[in-house]
Structure 1
Amino acid sequence: MPGVELLRRVALDVSPLRTSRDYRLVFSAAGVSGFGSFITYVTVPYQVYHLTGDPLLVGLIGVCELLPLLVMSFVGGALADFLDRRLLVFGGEIGLALLCGVLLVNSLGSQPQLWLLYVVAALTAALDGLRRPALEGMTPRLVVPDQIPAASALNSLRMQITQLAGPALAGVLIASVDLVWVYAVDLATFVVSLLCLAYMRAMPPPPAADRPSLRSVATGLRYARSRPELLGTYLVDINAMFFGMPQALYPFMAERMGGPAVLGLLYAAPAVGSMAATLSSGWTARVHRHGLMVVFAAGAWGLGIIGFGLVTNLWWALFFLAFAGAADMVSGLFRMTIWNQTIPDHLRGRLAGIEMLSYSTGPLLGQLRSGLMARTPLGIQGSIVSGGVLCVVGTVALAAALPAFLRYDARDGLAHKEAEDAAQAARVTTLAA
């Protein structure tokens, strides 16, 4: 029947979960841990807002996270190409659990220490930079190449579920119990993630792996710079998130629309749109102009943020955030597919570190930008709207400046990766001989 065939063509492909035991374990570990982490992700800015009432001080959380992330993503990328990626992720999870415990203890006091919130935010970013490249680098090792688009969509769905459920629960918890219990929920999730990772098989580095060093980091940077399709994914996303990421202003928008319970809805709304885009992502496997799709989606994200900034009604605000989230997910699906289908395995960890910078620094700096602009005569809503406009303008400018990115064809990228992997295998064989 035509309707059934249409559903089959657009439905989410779950074959990686059926065929790979270790992929199922990674999927579960990252999902449960991410759920708890998003609860804390909402709670820390709220706690700063509650203690200070200053949008700039809320935005400064992103500044504290930026420098550690910049440094440790390169370190984590180099280590992910040299060490067992499973052990690297396992160690990072232990460190994040300890930091969550610090937040819990700090919230027990009658006067929680503001400076400690910034320190924990910085250390959390550092640990995330250390473990995330290894986590991202696992996917090409756990599924066959033809399943990479499906695995990218599943990874996105996992993230969307955590983005939806974590912030929504955080809003309910913040409004109903002490913050110590909010942090306790996050701490409990690490038990599950550590058990899943412990049952995984080892994931040793590729043969003749480069030792972590400045030289190995520079090799990864030179490779990224030599590939216009990779540069395009980084620059377009950084532009979109820098100008169009107003999360530092969510507590202030929530105050106008209903209070702390609304805050969780604002954080969760983009995930609703993202989930809708992911569940209907089957069509993406038949699109080959990935660069063009990233540009279209980034522009649509900016339009959604403009809409969010213009409205005062809660339901319209949630609609525009969901629209923006769907657009961002379309961009993310094609960016992840470009990365996983074109980067050779011996460089995957280092390039994952660069990818992490591209999708993390933009939002972190965007929070600072939105907080600073909110203190000008533009105000809260003016900061959001102007950021969305600049996002669209910047996307158009980058599209004009990166014609090779717009022309990128996924079939050429996959063939390029296969050739580079074969060349690396030949070099390893020569060295062994």
Structure 2
Amino acid sequence: MARRGWGRLLTDVRPLRESADFRRLWVGQTVSQLGQQMATVTVAYQVWVLTESPFAVGTLGIVALVPLIALGLYGGALVDHYDRRKVALWTAAGLWLCTAALLAQALLDSESVGLLYGVVAVQSGLFAVNSPARSAIIPRLVPVHLLPAANALGMAAFNLGFTVGPLLGGVLIAWWGVASTYAVDLLTFTAALYALVRLPPILPAKEPGRVPGLRSVVEGIRWLRRAPNLRMTFVVDLCAMVLAQPRALFPALALTVYAGGPSALGLLQAAPAIGSLVAFAFSGWISRVHRQGIAVVLAIVAYGMSVALAGVAAIGVPGVLWLVVVMLAFSGSADMVSSAYRSTMLQQAAPDELRGRLQGVFTVVVAGGPRLGEFVAGSVAELTSEAEAMLYGGVACVVATLLVVTWQRGFLRYDARRPTP
């Protein structure tokens, strides 16, 4: 059914109406993201309280990066050779157990940073397999023309959790301590497990049941080398996430620059997601844009400029928290648009028999880039300051994006009506 008037501007929810399986998956993801983001901000808070070092908080990114890269590439091969539902379900169960471990260490008043690093590393490895499995499932549940809308809904689920989760996490930490946030995460993650249980089997397109080896992983990477447009979606995202990811700076900004506490930290953590949700509310136009390469580049440039301006605000008016929050919200809006189009390009242009492996690479880039970016930001802040690290990172993101697009100008001609990898 064609949408008219305001309906063409507001969120496109047709994927939720047309696919009950996608609807359950989306609801489960939305609910579970709430608890997961509460747990994420709590881990960073615990590390900061134990060490008072932005470098130690940033090191969480490196700890997560290694298993993410190793299992992300191989996990994609598993997704292409086994029932995608089972792969997603078993890894989700493992993630649930990791949350139980975080709850246990909080209840036992553990002060071991090493233990926190260890649990984060295991979580990252399981996520590296779970995420490509879930992403590769979506094109089997909704028609091709609704993929942009489905991906926008997926980003909204993530960012709703990223908005409410840190805010509630900050409040719960202040009232009842860190154990309370891990307990909520344990409860809400059950919704994601239920949604996966209800899915039908989603078997691989080719060679079902064959145990994938290194050759299978290499096959996906070789195909990607011959796909310049999809390769560029990864490159430009790395420009943003490695060079201008400020998340590791938020604990220090909240507790020093803005003289706040867990509540200020929750607001900073939530700011990008608030912007993303505002963009999502008016995302009805996303499905009508066909020159998606240009859209991705413009969104990433806007992201870098927003992060840089957040740094300027923190330097120039360090007592005004709301100004930094607004700038970070703009960065979240831009990131939402970029992510929706990059996901759609991969799902449309990649063949189904390679989709799991390419989603594995996508997961390494999308989740690994911010982890590496946290380490970079924490290291730069250790040498300069948190505000300067945001400024330098945002400028570097814009410059790097423009340089790589100049090198690969064909990306700007990508047209969703004729998707070419």
Where do 5+ consecutive residues of structure 2 fail to align? none
Aligned pairs (5 A) from 1:53-92: 53-92=52-91
Counterpart residue number, 1:241: 241
TM-score (norm 1): 0.92
TM alignment of 1:31-430, pairs within 5 A? 31-209=30-208, 211-255=211-255, 256-257=257-258, 258-311=260-313, 312=318, 313-376=320-383, 378-413=384-419
Letter in 1 for 2:253: M
Residues 174 and 88 from structure 1, CA distance in 2 versus in 1: closer, same or farther, beyond 3 angstroms? Answer: same
Structure 2 contact 47–56 (Cα < 8 Å) conserved: yes
Aligned amino acid, residue 323 of structure 2: W
Residues paired across the two proteins, number:
411
Taking only the aligned residue pairs, the percentage that are identical comes to: 40
Alpha-carbon distance, 1:65 to partner: 0.4
SS of 2:111's equivalent? coil
**CA–CA distance in structure 2, aligned partners of residues 156 and 59 of structure 1:** 24
* CA distance in structure 2 between the partners assigned to 1:110 and 1:285 by the alignment: 49
Structure 1: gaps (5+ residues): 418-433
Alpha-carbon distance, 1:109 to partner: 2.7
Shift of 1:331: 0.8
* Letter matched to residue 370 of structure 1: A
Offset at residue 277 of structure 1 (A): 1.3
CA distance in 2, matches of 1:83, 1:247: 35
SS at match of 1:11: coil
Find the aligned partners of 1:335 and 1:350 in 2 and give their Cα distance: 16
Q: Is the 8 A contact 2:81 2:206 kept in 1?
A: no
Which moved further from structure 2: 205-214 or 9-18? 205-214
String of CA shifts for 1:255-306, please: whole Å, max 9, x gaps. Answer: 1322210111111111111111122112122211111111111111011101
SS in 1 for 2:8: helix
Q: Contact between 2:152 and 2:336, CA under 8 Å: does it hold in 1?
A: no
Deviation at 1:216, TM superposition (A): 1.1
Provide the C-alpha distance between the structure 1 equivalents of 2:332 and 2:33, rounded to a whole number of angstroms. Answer: 18
**1:63 partner letter:** I
Is the 8 Å Cα contact of residues 76 and 132 (structure 1) preserved in structure 2?
Answer: no
Does the CA contact (< 8 Å) of 1:269 and 1:321 recur in 2?
yes
Q: Is the 8 A contact 2:277 2:333 kept in 1?
A: yes
Q: Which residue of 2 aligns with 1:427?
A: none
Deviations 1:390-421 (A, max 9, x none): 111101101101111111111111xx58xxxx
Whole-Å separation in 2 of the counterparts to 1:31 and 1:178: 24
The one-letter amino acid paired with 1:25 is R
Once the two structures are superposed, residues 369-396 of structure 1 have per-residue CA deviations (whole angstroms, 9 ceiling, x without a partner) of 11111111x2121111111111111011
What is the rounded CA distance, in whole Å, between the counterparts of 2:143 and 2:112 in structure 1?
Answer: 48
| Cα distance between partner residues in 2 of 1:234 and 1:338 | 11
Distance (whole Å) between structure 2 residues aligned to residue 394 and residue 24 of structure 1: 38
SS in 2 for 1:412: coil
Which of structure 1's runs of 4+ aligned residues deviate more than 3 A?
A: 207-211
Distance in 2 between the 1:277 and 1:230 partners? 24
Question: What is the rounded CA distance, in whole Å, between the counterparts of 1:371 and 1:207 in structure 2?
Answer: 44
- Letter of the 1:307 counterpart: L
- Whether the aligned pair in 2 keeps the contact of 1:88 and 1:134 (CA below 8 Å) is yes
Partner AA of 2:16 in structure 1: L
> Once the 2 structures are TM-superposed, how far is the Cα of residue 133 of structure 1 from its aligned partner?
0.7
Letter in 2 for 1:332: S
> Structure 2 CA distance, aligned partners of 1:343 and 1:248?
33
- TM-aligned CA deviation for residue 105 of structure 1: 1.2
Q: Is the 8 A contact 2:35 2:181 kept in 1?
A: no
AA aligned opposite 2:223: Y
**Counterparts of 1:366 and 1:114, CA distance in 2:** 20
RMSD: 1.4
Q: Secondary structure at the match of 2:417?
A: helix
Q: TM-score, normalised by structure 2?
A: 0.95
Secondary structure of 1:410's partner? coil
SS of equivalent residue, structure 2 residue 203 = coil
